[in-house]
Structure 1
Amino acid sequence: MRYFVKVEADGRRIEREIFFEKEGDVLMAHLVRHDEDGTEEVEVYPIDPCLLEKGRSLHLLVDGRGFDVYLQPTSKGNLDVHYKGDLCHVEILDEREKIAQRVQGKGGGTDPEIRASMPGVVVAVEVQEGQQVQKGQTLLVLEAMKMQNPIQAEADGLVEQIQVKAGDTVTGGDLLLRVVPA
C-alpha cells in the first residue's frame, strides 16, 4: 500500500509518496518525490519503529539514526508530530483515499498537473487540449484496482496539455494532463 503524506512545518509544505517493503528482517521505507519535470527521486531508509508510550510516543531508527517523536492525533484525522520542540502537521492518505479525494475534486489545491495516483489503464479521455473545463467536470477515466475512476477538474480552467490516450497504461505519478486555472 502506498501512502501520500503532506507535511507542514516552519511555513514549508512537503509532499511525498511513501511505501514500505520488508527486506529480510528489516522494514524499508521508500520516500518518493515527484519533481516538476515529471521525474521521480526515491530515497530508501531502513526503519525500526518502537512504541515508547502506547499510541503516543515513537522511537524511530532511520538509516542508523534514532529519533523520538510524540504523535498527537488531530480532529481531522491527521497527526501533529512533535520532535525536539518543533511541530509538524502531517496529513496521510492511502491510495484509496487519494483516489476518492481526486474523484471528489478535493486534490488539495489547484495544481495544474494531474497525475495518476496509482498504476492503471486510461479508459477514456473526455476532453481536448485547449478546451475550457469547469470544476467537477470529468477529464478522463482511469481504471485502477478493478474500478473505473473518473478524474475530475479541481477548478475551472483550460486543458493545456494531454499526455495520455485511451488504452495507455500508466504508473503511479505519471503525468496525465495539465489544466491551468481559468
Structure 2
Amino acid sequence: MEMPSTSGSWQGPAVEKGARMAKLAKASERLVSCSAADILKQDFEALFATALTGNDMHSLSQMKTWMASTFADRAHRAQAEAIVDQQIAEFISRLEVQLQDPNDPTAPADDMSQAMADLQDSVRVQEKRGRLQMLRSQIEQQELCNKKQADSNMAMSARMQAAKSKLDRDTSGLMAELCEDRFLPTRSAA
C-alpha cells in the first residue's frame, strides 16, 4: 500500500477508467441477489402454518418465488433511478478526473480544478436538495396535523352546537311547564 506523498496528494494504485462504476454496479447486483436469496431461504411453511389451510400451503413456494422476483425487479429499477437521480455516474467520472496522477501529461490541470469545483457545487446542490426535501416533509406533516386539528375542531363545534340545541329545547320545555303550572287554576277545596 502506498503512503501519501510529501506534496499532500494521495498516490494510490492506478484505477482503470470506469472501474469504479463497474464495481458499484457489481456491488448493487450482489446486494439485490443476496436479498432475493434471503427471501427464497425463508421457511414460509413454518411462518404461515397456522394461518393458511392445506390447499393454500401448496402455493407458498410459488408466492416465495414471485416475491423474490418482484423484489429483484423493483430493486434494480430503484437502483437505476437512484444512479440517474443522484448523478452517480457523473460524480464518479469527476472523481476519476480528480484522482488522476497530476504528473500524467494527459491529465490537464484545468480539468482537475474544474472537476473539484463541480464536485463542490454538486455537494452543495445535494445538501440543498436534502434540506428542501426535509422542509417539504415537515410542511406535509404540519398540513396533515392542521387538517386533523381542523376536523377535530369541526367535530367539537358540532357537539357543542348539538349540546346547545338540546339545552335550549330542555330550557324551553321547563319554561313551558312552569308557565302552564302558574296559569292553571288551582284546585282548592271548595
Q: Which has the larger radius of gyration?
A: 2
| Fold in common (TM above 0.5) | no
TM-score bracket for the superposition, by shorter chain length: under 0.3
The structure with the greater share of residues assigned to strand is 1
TM-score (norm 1): 0.18
The structure with the greater share of residues assigned to helix is 2
